[in-house]
């Protein structure tokens, strides 16, 4: 088993793509699957909308909006690698979900639109990856259109994100003149040909050494001259590539291509999979846990209810950190303090959900969840241990939830509870006598719409949301804290979380600051204190 474990760990790559909406993440994902042999015909992006249910998107709401609301996990095999691609939602209001997904990734691919460069959402997500210190690869997309100069983009990465980049390959031409990419390590030009393909199958590709005579038959004199000039510039003025700088996220290996036409997808995938790290160790309350530790351990980073409306199921997504998961096994659930059976595991092979027999570090498995999991929960074979670092976020928008139909109040409450366990919303109880309606808090305001939609469609409960003027929630701890003394002052209100811990909601920075100044003996925490 040890040999097998080492081998399985070494061949795994678990990563996420981060980007601003419209940079081409859906398209690139489809193309990676195409090259991974997971789908035979990567649908053109036009067809994508119609086929959305077939890939990572499933909710009607997102079909309507054309945004991807939830993350899912896609696994495919490429060469000898078992690749897990964690799909993250693109819309900024769902960034919380994205952040949690990044906690389960070992590296990230930052996808950039060549014409737009670094965009706001790229920046935010980049920061999270930086904090985790994971390697960040850059794919500059849409080279089939005129965009910014590659050197200009490298400069922007440094100015805006503070990261140096190392072009692993270099584009030859741009827009309709985009011919191929030059592999700096191998000194080979990959020339693409668009004939007979509209990006639906792998692109015809010819690899020619830049030092051969043949290259003159492939590129024009002007193209060759420009390429030699660019490379000289990079060799002299650019960074030196080292594995250490890449591994620690100091230097971003950069690639160029066009996901739509498949140009540059394979050259990227080949080098990326060589450089991207295999599953790494993770911090726990008892020191780092190595993936090659023979005892199984994993953590829940996402919970999703009603993925299949016909079945009313709830899935907890768990990232395997160490050892081997075997079907039917039990593990110790630290938060509950008991052994639980990990039931009905499934994995998400490209389009379908398939039952699995085993899983290895780096893999993500979907566990059937009868309501026993929460985000951040650790499950470990035989030991009580907890993983650290699945981020929780403090809500910034609040509303009172009222049931529009008093007879469906129970359904509403059940739905609210389940969605809060999923991490879609946080629920608070009002402390004032007679105020029974719960308050929900969300990180992005669009989550209110998701809440309303899902309560109605999945639980049959129509609700009204009355927005509250608060923007901060703080758990208050300290000697002699009297929740009542904070209540009802117009710019703040005391509530209770689902564990019965008191919090104060504040209208704005000023109201929070005022309370902090007035009560130096109290702590105002943006994360729930440990019970």
Among 97, 144, 230, 363, binds ligand GDP (CB under 6 A): 144
CB contact set of 303 (below 8 Å; sequence gap of 6+): 314, 315, 316, 317, 369, 373, 374, 375, 421, 422, 423
Distance CA 140, CA 25 (A): 11
Helix segments in 36-178, DSSP class H: 45-51, 60-65, 95-103, 120-132, 150-156
Task: Provide DSSP, 496-521.
Answer: E-TTS-EEEEESSHHHHHHHHHH-TT
Among 26, 56, 334, 424, binds ligand GDP (CB under 6 A): 26
Please check whether residue 476 is in contact with residue 522, taking contact to mean a CB–CB distance below 8 angstroms.
Answer: yes
Distance CA 50, CA 98 (A): 24
- SS3 at position 380: strand
The reply to whether 145 sits near ligand GDP by the rule CB under 6 A is: yes
Instruction: Compute the least distance from the CB of residue 29 to ligand GDP, in Å.
Output: 8
Nearer to ligand GDP, 146 or 488 (CB): 146
Nearer to ligand GDP, 26 or 322 (CB): 26
Sole window of 136-144, 269-277, 317-325, 471-479 interacting with ligand GDP (rule: CB under 6 A): 136-144
Nearer to ligand GDP, 45 or 525 (CB): 45
Among 258, 304, 322, 420, binds ligand GDP (CB under 6 A): 258
The reply to whether 291 sits near ligand GDP by the rule CB under 6 A is: no
The reply to whether 141 sits near ligand GDP by the rule CB under 6 A is: yes
Instruction: Give, as ranges, the residues between 33 and 52 that touch ligand GDP (CB under 6 A).
Output: 45
Instruction: Compute the least distance from the CB of residue 88 to ligand GDP, in Å.
Output: 10
Distance CA 337, CA 424 (A): 25
Instruction: Give, as ranges, the residues between 72 and 111 that touch ligand GDP (CB under 6 A).
Output: 90
Sole window of 18-26, 69-77, 388-396, 427-435 interacting with ligand GDP (rule: CB under 6 A): 18-26
Sole window of 137-145, 153-161, 335-343, 367-375 interacting with ligand GDP (rule: CB under 6 A): 137-145
Q: Any binding-site annotation on 25?
A: yes
Please check whether residue 113 is in contact with residue 141, taking contact to mean a CB–CB distance below 8 angstroms.
Answer: yes
Nearer to ligand GDP, 258 or 424 (CB): 258
Closest CA to 128 of 168, 91, 98: 98
Q: Any binding-site annotation on 277?
A: no
Give buried/exposed letters for 126-141 (b at 16+ CB in 10 A, else e).
bebbbebebbbbbbbb
Joined together, the tokens standing for residue 390 give 């699945």
Q: Any binding-site annotation on 90?
A: yes
Among 142, 314, 474, 492, binds ligand GDP (CB under 6 A): 142
Q: Any binding-site annotation on 63?
A: no
Instruction: Compute the least distance from the CB of residue 259 to ligand GDP, in Å.
Output: 4
Phi-psi region of 196 (alpha: psi -120 to 50; beta: other; left: phi over 0): left
Sole window of 70-78, 119-127, 258-266, 267-275 interacting with ligand GDP (rule: CB under 6 A): 258-266
Q: Any binding-site annotation on 306?
A: no
Instruction: Compute the least distance from the CB of residue 144 to ligand GDP, in Å.
Output: 5
Q: Any binding-site annotation on 21?
A: yes
Closest CA to 95 of 70, 113, 119: 70
Binding map of ligand GDP across residues 259-288, x = CB under 6 A, - = no contact: xx----------------------------
Give buried/exposed letters for 499-528 (b at 16+ CB in 10 A, else e).
eeebbbbbbeeebbeebeeebeebebeeeb
Distance CA 170, CA 181 (A): 5
Please check whether residue 168 is in contact with residue 185, taking contact to mean a CB–CB distance below 8 angstroms.
Answer: yes
The reply to whether 27 sits near ligand GDP by the rule CB under 6 A is: yes
Sole window of 92-100, 256-264, 401-409, 421-429 interacting with ligand GDP (rule: CB under 6 A): 256-264
Provide the residue count of the chain: 531
Sole window of 138-146, 187-195, 350-358, 402-410 interacting with ligand GDP (rule: CB under 6 A): 138-146
Distance CA 347, CA 354 (A): 5
User: Which residue is it, tokens 């402390």?
Assistant: 431
Instruction: Compute the least distance from the CB of residue 63 to ligand GDP, in Å.
Output: 13
Going by the annotation, the residues of the binding site are 19-26, 87-91, 141-144
Which residues are near ligand GDP by CB under 6 A? Answer: 19, 21-27, 45, 90, 141-142, 144-145, 258-260
User: Binding site for GTP: what residues are annotated?
Assistant: 19-26, 87-91, 141-144
């Amino acid at each position: 088993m040890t040999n097998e474990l080492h081998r399985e760990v070494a061949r795994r790559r678990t990563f996420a793509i981060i980007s601003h909406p419209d940079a081409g993440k859906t398209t690139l994902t489809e193309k990676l699957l195409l090259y991974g042999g997971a789908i035979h015909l990567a649908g053109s992006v036009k067809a994508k909308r119609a086929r959305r249910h077939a890939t990572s998107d499933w909710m009607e709401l997102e079909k309507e909006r054309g945004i991807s609301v939830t993350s899912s996990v896609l696994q495919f095999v490429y060469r000898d690698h078992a690749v897990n691609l964690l799909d993250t939602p693109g819309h900024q209001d769902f960034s919380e979900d994205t952040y949690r997904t990044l906690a389960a990734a070992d590296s990230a691919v930052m996808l950039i639109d060549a014409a737009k460069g670094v965009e706001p959402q790229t920046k935010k997500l980049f920061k999270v990856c930086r904090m985790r210190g994971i390697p960040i690869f850059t794919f500059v997309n849409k080279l089939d259109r005129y965009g910014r100069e590659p050197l200009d983009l490298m400069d922007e990465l440094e100015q805006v994100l503070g990261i140096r980049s190392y072009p692993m390959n270099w584009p030859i031409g741009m827009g309709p003149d985009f011919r191929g990419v030059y592999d700096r390590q191998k000194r080979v030009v990959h020339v693409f040909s668009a004939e007979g393909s509209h990006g639906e199958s792998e692109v015809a590709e010819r690899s020619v050494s830049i030092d051969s005579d043949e290259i003159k038959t492939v590129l024009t004199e002007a193209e060759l001259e420009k390429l030699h000039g660019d490379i000289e510039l990079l060799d002299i003025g650019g960074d030196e590539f080292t594995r250490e700088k890449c591994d620690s996220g100091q230097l971003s290996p950069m690639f160029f291509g066009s996901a739509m036409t498949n140009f540059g997808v394979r050259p990227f995938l080949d080098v990326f999979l060589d450089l991207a790290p295999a599953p790494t160790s993770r911090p726990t309350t008892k020191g780092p846990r190595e993936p090659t530790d023979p005892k199984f351990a994993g953590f829940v980073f996402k919970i999703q209810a009603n993925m299949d409306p016909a079945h009313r199921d709830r899935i907890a997504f768990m990232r395997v950190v160490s050892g081997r998961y075997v079907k039917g096994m039990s593990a110790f659930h630290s938060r509950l303090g008991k052994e639980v059976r990990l039931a009905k595991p499934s994995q998400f092979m490209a389009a379908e959900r398939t039952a699995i027999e085993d899983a290895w570090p780096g893999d993500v498995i979907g566990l059937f969840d009868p309501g026993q999991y929460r985000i951040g929960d650790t499950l470990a074979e035989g030991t009580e241990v907890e993983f650290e670092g699945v981020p929780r976020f403090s809500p910034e928008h609040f509303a009172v939830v009222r049931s529009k139909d008093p007879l469906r109040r129970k359904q509403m409450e059940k739905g609210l509870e389940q969605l809060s366990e999923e991490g879609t919303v946080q629920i608070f109880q009002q402390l004032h006598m007679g105020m029974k309606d719960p308050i929900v808090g969300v990180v992005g305001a669009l989550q209110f719409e998701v809440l309303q939609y899902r309560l109605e469609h999945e639980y049959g409960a129509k609700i009204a949301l009355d927005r509250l003027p608060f923007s901060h929630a703080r758990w208050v701890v300290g000697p002699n804290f009297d929740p009542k003394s904070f209540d009802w002052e117009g710019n703040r209100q005391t509530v209770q979380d689902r564990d019965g811990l008191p919090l104060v909601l504040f209208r704005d920075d000023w109201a929070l600051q005022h309370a902090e100044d007035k009560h130096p003996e109290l702590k105002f925490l943006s994360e729930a204190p440990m019970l």
